[in-house]
Amino acid sequence: MSLRRSVLTLSILGLCACFAAPVAAADGGTLGFVVREWYIALHESKFMDECPEGLTMGNDEIWWRSAPKDFRAKVTDNGLARSSIRYYEVMDRGKNGEDVCLNPTSIVDPPLRVVEGKIGYGHNIDGTQDGHATAKTCKHDKFQSPDGKKTDIDNQMARLVGCSFGWRKTGMIQLNGNEVRATSGYGMVLMEVTGVNEKDPRNSDNVTVTFYRSIDQFAMDSAGQPLPFSTYRIDTLDGKPRYSDSLKGKITNGVLTTERGDVRLPAYDNFNFGHPTIKDMAVTLEIAADGSAGKGMVSGYYDVEEFWYLTAGVGQVLQTGQFSCPAMYVAAHKLADGYPDPKTGECTHLSVGYNVKAYAAFVQHPDKERRQATR
Amino acid sequence: MSFLIPRAPARRQLLRAMFGGGAVTLALPFLDCYLNTNGSALAATGAPLPTRFGTWYWGMGHTPDHAIAEKRETSAGIGFLEETESLKPFGSKLSYFGNFMTPLDGKSNFAHFTGWVANRVGTPPGSGSDIPGTTLDLMIADVIGNASRFKTIDATAIGIASENYSARGTNSHGAAETSPISLYARIFGPEFVDPNKADFKPDPKIMLKKSVLSAFTEESQAFTKSLGASDKARLDEYFTAIRQVETQLALQLQKPPPNESCLVPPKVDEHVDNSNAGREMGQVIETHKIMSKLMAMAVACNQTRVFNMVFTDANGNVRRKGEAHTHHILTHEEAIDTKLGYQPLAFWFNKACMDGFATFLQTLDSIKEGDGTLLDNSLIFATSETNYARVHTVDGIPTYLAGRAGGKVKSGLHVIGNGDPITRIGFTVMRLLGVPLEKWGTNSLQTSKMITEILA
Amino acid sequence: MRRKFKDLPLRGVVLATALAVLTACGPKEPASEGGTPDLRRLTEEQYRNTIADVFGPTITYGGRFDPLQRTDGLIALGARTARVTPSGFEQYYALADSISAQVVDEAHRETLVACKPASATAADDACAQAFFGEIGRVLYRRPLTDGEIKTAVTAAHEVGTTTGDFYQGLAYGLAGMMTTPKFLFVVDATEPDPDHQGQVRLTSYAHASRLSFLLWNSAPDDMLLTAAEKGELYSKSGLEKQIERMVASPKVEGGVRAFFTDFLDLRKFETLQKDPVIYPAFNAKTGEDAKEQILRTITDHVATRDLDYRDLFTTRRTFLTPALARIYKVPAGRPDGGWTDYEFPDKDLRGGLLSQIGFLAVNAHPGRSSPTIRGRAIRETLLCQKVPDPPGNVDFSLFNDPDSPNKTARQRLTTHATNPTCAGCHKITDPIGLGLENFDGVGSLRMAENGEAIDPAGDLDGVAFKDPAGLAKAMRKSPAAPTCLVNRLYAYALGRPIETSDKDTVAYFQQVFARDGYRVPQLLRRIAGSDAFFKVRPPKADAATQAATNDSAPKENPS
Domain range annotation of chain B: 1-30+201-254, 34-195+262-454
Contact A4 C345 (CB under 8 A): yes
Flag whether the ipTM exceeds 0.95.
no
The total number of structural domains that make up chain A: 2
- pLDDT attached to residue C300: 95
Against chain C, the chains showing at least 3 CB pairs within 8 Å are A, B
pLDDT at A220: 83
C541 band by pLDDT with thresholds 50, 70 and 90 = low
Q: How many Cβ pairs within 8 Å bridge chains A and C?
A: 100
Per-residue pLDDT band for B24 (boundaries 50, 70, 90) equals very low
- Range among B188-202, C238-252, C403-417 with highest mean pLDDT value: C238-252
Q: Which residues of A touch C446 (CB under 8 A)?
A: 17
For residues A118 and A100, membership in a common domain is answered with no
- The C-alpha atoms of residue A232 and residue A215 are separated, in whole angstroms, by 7
Q: Enumerate the residues of chain C whose CB falls inside 8 A of the CB of residue A222.
A: 276, 280, 283
Average pLDDT over residues C352-364: 95
Q: Are residue A334 and residue A281 in the same domain, yes or no?
A: yes
Task: Report yes or no: C319 at the A interface, CB cutoff 8 Å.
Answer: no
Task: Give the 3-state secondary structure of chain A.
Answer: CCCHHHHHHHCHHHHCCCCCCCCCCCCCEEEEEEEEEEEECCCCCCCCCCCCCCCCCCHHHHHHHHCCHHHHHHCCCCCCCCHHHHHHHHHCCCCCCCCCCCCCCCCCCCCCCCCCCCECCCECCCCCCCCCCCCCECCCCCEECCCCCCCCEECHHHHHHCCCHHHCCCCCHHHHHHHHHHHHCCCCEEEEEEEECCCCCCCEEEEEEEEEEECCCCCECCCCCECCCEEEEECEECCEECCCCEEEEEEECCEEEECCEEEECCEEECCEEECCEEEEEEEEEEECCCCCEEEEEEEEEEEHHHHHHHHHCCCCHHHHCCCCHHHHHHHHHHHCCEEECCCCCCEEEEEEEEEEEEEEEEEECHHHHHHHHCC
The pLDDT value recorded for residue A80 is: 52
Are the CB atoms for C393 and B109 separated by under 8 Å?
A: yes
Domain boundaries, chain C: 41-187, 259-477
Residues B117-134 have a mean pLDDT of: 92
pLDDT of res. A223: 73
Q: Average pLDDT, whole number, for chain B? A: 85
Is residue A22 one of the residues assigned to a domain? no
- Choose between B370 and C510: higher pLDDT: C510
Spans in chain A with pLDDT lower than 50: 1-25, 369-375
| For residues B263-279, average pLDDT | 73
Of the listed ranges C13-22, C74-83, C448-457, the one predicted with least confidence: C13-22
Res. B9 pLDDT band, cuts 50 70 90: very low
> What confidence tens digit (pLDDT) does each residue in B179-192 have?
999 999 999 998 89
Helix axes B180-188, B281-300, angle to 10 degrees: 10
Give me the pLDDT at residue C314, please. Answer: 97
Same domain, A64 and A47: no
pLDDT in tens, C118-162: 999 999 999 999 999 999 999 999 999 999 999 999 999 999 999
Q: Which of C51, C74, C97 is nearest to C485 (CA)?
A: C74
The mean per-residue pLDDT over the stretch C85-101 comes to 92
Residue with the larger pLDDT of the pair A282 and C283: A282
Q: Which residues in chain A have Cβ-Cβ distances shorter than 8 Å to C347?
A: 21-24
CB contact under 8 A, B229 and C179: no
Chain A CB contacts of C444 below 8 Å: 14
Of residues A374 and B388, more confidence is placed in B388
pLDDT score, position A1: 32
CA distance C90 to A238: 60
Domain boundary among A74, A108, A142: A108
* Contact residues, chain A to chain C, C-beta under 8 Å: 1, 3-4, 6-8, 10-11, 13-15, 17-19, 21-24, 216, 219, 221-223, 225, 227-233, 360, 362, 364, 372-373, 375
- For the cut 70, the answer to whether the pLDDT of residue B10 exceeds it is no
Q: What is the average per-residue pLDDT within B368-384?
A: 95
In angstroms, rounded to a whole number, what is the distance separating the alpha carbons of residues C344 and C330?
Answer: 9
**B34-195+262-454 under CATH 3.40.50, yes or no:** no
Residue B38 has a pLDDT of: 42
- Helix B344-365, helix B281-300: angle, nearest 10: 20
Residues in chain C with CB shorter than 8 Å from the CB of A235 are none
The predicted pLDDT at position A79 comes to 53
Same domain (yes/no): A222, A320: yes
Contact C162 B169 (CB under 8 A): no
Instruction: Report the gap between the CA of B230 and the closest CA in chain C (Å).
Output: 9
A232 and A353 together in one domain: yes
Helix (H, G, I), strand (E, B) or coil at C402: coil
- Kindly report the number of other CB atoms within 10 A of residue A170's CB atom: 11
Q: Hey, of C61, C84, C365, which one would you mutate to test binding to chain B, going by the most B CBs within 10 A of its CB?
A: C84
Residue to mutate among A4, A5, A7, with most C CBs inside 10 A, is A7
Cβ contact A19–C1 (<8 Å): no
Q: Which of A16-20, B297-301, C105-109 has the lowest mean pLDDT?
A: A16-20
Residues B26-59 have pLDDT tens digits of 333 333 333 334 445 444 455 678 899 999 999 9
Summarised one tens digit per residue, pLDDT across range A267-323 is 877 667 888 999 999 999 999 998 999 999 999 999 999 999 888 776 666 777 889
Mean pLDDT estimate for chain C = 87
Residue C359 in this model has a pLDDT that exceeds 80: yes
Per-residue confidence (pLDDT) for residue A361, from 0 to 100? 95
pLDDT score recorded for residue A76? 65
Residues A87 and A44 in one domain: no
State the residue range of the domain holding A262. 4-16+27-57+112-373
Is C389's CB within 8 Å of B128's CB? yes
CA distance C338 to C322: 7
pLDDT band at C393; cut points 50, 70, 90: low
Give the up-direction half-sphere exposure of residue C467: CA atoms within 13 A in the CB hemisphere.
14
Q: Considering only CB atoms, which chain C residues are within 8 Å of B213?
A: 93, 176, 179
Same domain, A142 and A83: no
CB contact under 8 A, A15 and C447: yes
| pLDDT for residue C388 is more than 70 | yes
Q: Check whether B154 has a pLDDT greater than 90.
A: yes
pLDDT (mean) for B341-360: 95
Mutate to test the interface with A, among C324, C447, C467 (most CBs of A within 10 A): C447
Query: Within an 8 Å CB–CB cutoff, is residue C446 touching chain A?
Result: yes
- What is the pLDDT at residue B39? 40
Q: Picking from A304-313, B2-11, B122-131, which range would have the lowest pLDDT averaged per residue?
A: B2-11
| Beta-carbon separation of C89 and B244 below 8 A | yes
The verdict on A52 and A32 lying in the same domain is yes
Which pLDDT score, from 0 to 100, does residue B74 have? 93
pLDDT at C398 over 90: no
List of chain C residues whose C-beta atoms are within 8 Å of the C-beta of residue A221: 276, 280-281, 283
Rounded Cα distance, C501 and C35, in Å: 9
Chain C residue with Cα closest to B175: C66
What pLDDT does residue B223 have?
Answer: 83
The per-residue pLDDT for range C212-262, each reduced to its tens digit, is 999 999 999 999 999 999 999 999 999 999 999 999 999 999 999 999 999
